[in-house]
Amino acid sequence: MIGNSDRILTTHVGSLPRNQVLTDLLIRDEAGEPIDKAELNRQRARAVQHVVAQQLAAGVDVINDGEQPRVGFQTYVPQRMKGFGGESSRPRPRDYAEFPDFAAQMRQRFPRRSKVSNAPQAVSEIKYNDLGDAENECRMLREALSAAPSKPAGAFLTAASPGIIATTMLNKYYESHDAYVFAVAREMRKEYELIAREFILQIDAPDLAMEYTMLFQKLSVSEFLKIAEVHVAALNEALRSIPRERVRLHSYLGDIPPAEFEAAFYDDPRTHQPLVGIQ
């Protein structure tokens, strides 16, 4: 990871607000509505340049593209990979059920959103055959950095973890959840390796805690941790060729007791070594 002996470097977790024009184009594109693709790409590139400049002006040291080219931090995946179709049906988040006023506020605040609760599902073997969108995303950040008046200490790009992909785009094809997660890991490895060749790769893995209140909300903590261990094993497999210093991981504890989280995730149970990318 990037270090500095003089001061603490600043960074952020990834997603930054998109302007209304870009937001509308991204949501319409995801919905399959006819849009001007050239205009969408112009808006993407312009937005990336804007957020790069804003981060540098604010003094952020390790910056990214704000995920401006994507409709969502994990729901971009079906637009890049084959094998998805139809609609998933994710359970309502537990906090929405327990706090209906909060759920109503969120509906009012975001009347039109990307496909999160009804994302496509895996309906056939998933394949990541065309890295064109990922390559364009890297190019846009590279060009924005080249045009910036000053240079950051480092730059990162995010990518969704196998676990959050598998729990958002649900499985209707593979024989088990475990088989699906490892299939996702096999294909996402291509995007991970592409990003890590040029930027720090940030793996977004809220599934390691958040899914305890989402897809797996009816399980006990111990049952959920067994699933999360599978997600970590799949992620480690996908990252096996990437140097540790090229990877960082974004997650949070959610409702899982910290001691149980540490026992499950800070060491690989097979080798007793720290897990790849977890800092």
The mean pLDDT value for 62-78 works out to 96
The mean pLDDT value for 135-163 works out to 97
Most confident of 98-107, 232-241, 258-267: 232-241
The mean pLDDT value for 61-90 works out to 96
pLDDT reported for residue 31: 93
Over its C-alpha atoms, the chain yields an Rg (Å, rounded) of: 19
What end-to-end distance do the CA atoms of the chain give, in Å?
9
Domain segments of the chain as ranges: 20-265
Residue pLDDT, tens place only, 90-121: 888 777 777 888 778 877 776 666 778 899 99
pLDDT band per the 50, 70, 90 thresholds, residue 254 = low
pLDDT reported for residue 253: 59
Residue pLDDT, tens place only, 2-50: 666 678 999 999 999 999 999 999 999 999 999 999 999 999 999 999 9
| pLDDT value at 158 more than 50 | yes
pLDDT band per the 50, 70, 90 thresholds, residue 190 = very high
Alpha-helical runs (H) found in the chain? 20-30, 37-58, 94-98, 100-109, 132-147, 162-168, 177-196, 221-238, 258-265
The mean pLDDT value for 165-177 works out to 97
Handedness of CA 71, 225, 209, 195 (dihedral sign): negative
In this structure, what DSSP letter does residue 104 have?
H
Domain 20-265 bears CATH identifier 1.10.4080.10: no
Looking only at the bridges linking them, the beta strands covering 82-85 and 121-127 are antiparallel
pLDDT reported for residue 112: 66
